[in-house]
A and B are shown apart, each in its own frame.
Chain A
Amino acid sequence: MKLKMKVLAAAAVLALGAGTAHAQISGNVVKIGVLNDQSSLYADLGGQGSVLAARMAIEDFKAKEKGLNVEVVFADHQNKPDVGSQVARRWYDAEGVDAIFDVPNSGVALAVNQVTREKGKAFINSGAASSDLTGKQCSPNTVHWTYDTWMLANGTGKAIVKTGGDTWFFLTADYAFGHALERDTEAVVVKNGGKVLGKVRHPLNTQDFSSFLLQAQASKAKIVGLANAGGDTVNSIKQASEFGIVKGGQNLAGLLVFLTDVHGLGLDKAQGLIFTETWYWDMNDANRAFAKRFAAANGNKYPSMVHAGVYAGVLHYLKAVHALKSDDGTKVVAKMKELPTDDPLFGKGTIRADGRKLHPAYLFEVKKPSESKGPYDYYKLRSTIPANEAFRPIEQGDCPLVKK
């Protein structure tokens, strides 16, 4: 380790002395670390797919031709905040990593957010949900790219109430994430003239939802809102279909659902599900081209919005590094906010002072099996929420970086 530090130090000295061209690229390499769940419940929606997305972005940026030497490393945070922050420290201190990408799981993301700020590096998050990353805990070194809890609650809740789903029953995971999602969604439902008829809180990682579903059924609410994630969501949807919830005229609203969840469930079980995402592969030619390329290199598994967010985030990060001729984290993130974003997957957009990336959000409904024409043909678009309405207004986030 010590030797490595010395080499790094020597390289830094050399680089400083070498002149202007790459004066501020540490070690002459821009090193990107993809930190996510590689083996457990979020491995499908992020995992190796995110590493692939980062590599594709480097390729498409034509980094080599622009004289940038970019490397990718990855690690498994096992959904444990302590493991995540350890890896981040090691990467930043000893292995010359300049920026960390992806990091699903809000707990881990908030820990990495802290370490990155301490070390003056860059953190571009795609996989985590907590809107605190751009709220109370916002940082000059963090960009939150793909989605967040406020957006999920607002997008799905508002759109559903407006299209007639004005009575709700919540199925909520009984811990901080579920409570927050339920609270935010309830606020949106009530504000838009809807009513919450009841709610039931289930322990995290519940196997059997039948008795909760029975209560949802008995409530006669038009919408059953699922304020849970991962295995809980999949199991509750699967069993809702068994108990004929959708066939009985009620609709499910998954408040956090990914393409990979729908794939795991199958259309037969997932049909009719309504939820918000910010990216879907079958929306335009650029997305389709990306998905085909991605799937070919990923065992025919299509990209989720988290993968797309990693791709777009890396692309924009490299743009900023290239423009600055530096990989200093704080400066690069400032540059990322200054430059308008423009990438094939999310189109033109901006990054706000609090680190929130702005783009439209889409309300999707899962197709019936008869409507699906090919592999991963799962969603139909119900409505589009423009970028300026999709995310929490900057003044409501209590981000200390934003001067009122």
Chain B
Amino acid sequence: MTEIFGISLPALSGQLLIGLINGSFYALLSLGLAVIFGLLNIINFTHGAQYMMGAFVAWFLLNKTGLGYWWALVIAPIVVGATGVVIERLMLSRLYKLDHLYGLLLTFGLALIIEGAFHHQYGSAGLPYAMPSQLTGGSNLGFMYLPNYRAWVIVASLAICLATWFLIERTKLGSYLRAATENPSLVQAFGINVPRMITLTYGFGVGLAALAGVFAAPIYQVSPQMGSSLIIVVFAVVVIGGMGSIMGSIVTGFGLGIIEGLTKYFYPEASNTVIFVIMAIVLMFRPQGLFGQR
């Protein structure tokens, strides 16, 4: 058996792969946050609640209408994204001229209200959501048993992350978006409806959160608190990556997933805190984050 530092290599590769799986959730969620912050300058604290809503919509679809996982992947982001559009139109759009803090307080309050309402209705024990039958089972990779569903999550979220990056950084639509954040009045003067673009961007970011929620539903119980426990970590990821940096949030998401996975192996008690330790160190030496510009 090959070993380094007394750790067997197969076990290490297993943990690395697991880290990659968790990292894909971090990446997907922090990507939505980065898009929203980068283009709207809103720190969206409702993100965790919207992730939870995505999982609940999937549960509703399955149990009330019989529409399975694959439908949920399409419908949940649209439904939750639509609620995001309503929130942006009714509330957030009034705050753009004010300090960041107001947006943060508003979205934080909304998150508490949404989570409280779901808690009241469904309790906290969590509802089971069955894995889609096409993705049950798994394969033995030699060093670990990889469930098919987890493999699917890595591939799918990586694809979505890269597509989003491409959309914003490499297409014409993306260049409009970026231009609109730099100088909205100028872009508007070219005949582009900036407020509508901003609204749809928020809806898109929220939809990404809901999509992550659907990915998570078969792995975890669908429960009202599932978002609040994750959102703090995801915020740390965004801060480390650099607020608003798309590529930064993707790379940091996967990277921190791997670091967390390794911590779970070497010193599991610290696995909840390691990300925050890294955040503190990064903030000390590079306050704008690893990929941020200042």
Contact = CB atoms under 8 A, between A and B. Distances in A.
B272 A242 contact: no
Contacts of B150: 210, 242
Interface in A247-262: 248, 260
A243 B149 CA distance: 10
Interface stretch (B76-84, B86-94, B122-130, B239-247): B122-130
B269 A214 contact: no
Contacts of B11: 214-215, 218
A239 to B, nearest CB: 7
A242 B265 CA distance: 20
Nearest to A204: B272
Interface string A219-256: 00000000000110011001100111000100000000
A126 to B, nearest CB: 18
A211 B229 contact: no
Interface in B211-242: 219-221, 223, 226, 229-230
Interface in B5-20: 8, 11, 14-15, 18-19
Contacts of B149: 242
A214 B126 contact: no
Contacts of A207: 220, 226, 229-230
A243 B147 contact: yes
B125 A211 contact: no
B22 A214 contact: no
Interface in A264-290: 264-266, 269
B249 to A, nearest CB: 20
A269 B147 CA distance: 14
B128 A266 contact: yes
A372 interface: no
A200 interface: yes
Contacts of B131: 242
A44 B219 contact: no
Residue from B22, B144, B145, B150 whose CB has the most chain A CB atoms within 10 Å? B145
Given A41-B125, A264-B126, A214 B226 contact: no
A244 B271 CA distance: 24
Contacts of B138: 242-244
A309 to B, nearest CB: 19
B124 A201 contact: no
B219 A39 contact: no
B203 to A, nearest CB: 26
Interface residues of B, number: 38
Contact of A43 (B8, B19, B125): B125
Contacts of B31: none
B265 A208 contact: no
Contact of A40 (B124, B229, B269): B124
A174 B8 CA distance: 25
A146 to B, nearest CB: 19
A269 B218 CA distance: 12
Interface string B181-212: 00000000000000000000000000000000
B132 interface: no
A375 interface: no
B123 A43 contact: yes
A206 B230 CA distance: 10
Nearest to B138: A244
B233 to A, nearest CB: 10
A296 to B, nearest CB: 21
A248 B138 CA distance: 12
B22 A208 contact: yes
A39 B123 contact: yes
Contacts of A346: none
Listed residue (B8, B120, B138, B264) with the most chain A CB atoms within 10 angstroms of its CB: B264
Contacts of B248: none
B136 to A, nearest CB: 9
A242 B147 contact: yes
B145 A235 contact: no
A41 B265 contact: no
A235 to B, nearest CB: 6
Nearest to B273: A203
A40 B221 contact: no
A142 B227 CA distance: 39
Contacts of A235: 220-221
B261 interface: yes
Given A44-B125, A218-B11, A266-B128, A174 B269 contact: yes
A201 B262 CA distance: 15
A214 B124 contact: no
Contacts of A238: 128, 219-221
B111 interface: no
B119 interface: yes
A208 to B, nearest CB: 6
A342 B272 CA distance: 49
A88 to B, nearest CB: 23
A203 B264 contact: no
10 contacts: A43-B124, A200-B268, A207-B229, A208-B220, A210-B150, A231-B125, A231-B223, A238-B221, A242-B219, A266-B130
Q: Which 6 A-B pairs have the closest CB atoms?
A: A211-B264, A203-B272, A211-B18, A40-B124, A242-B147, A210-B18
Interface of B: 8, 11, 14-15, 18-19, 21-22, 119-120, 123-128, 130-131, 138, 144-145, 147, 149-150, 219-221, 223, 226, 229-230, 261, 264-265, 268-269, 271-272
Given A214-B18, A230-B125, A260-B125, 12 more contacts: A39-B119, A39-B123, A208-B219, A215-B11, A218-B8, A231-B124, A234-B126, A235-B221, A238-B128, A244-B147, A264-B128, A269-B128
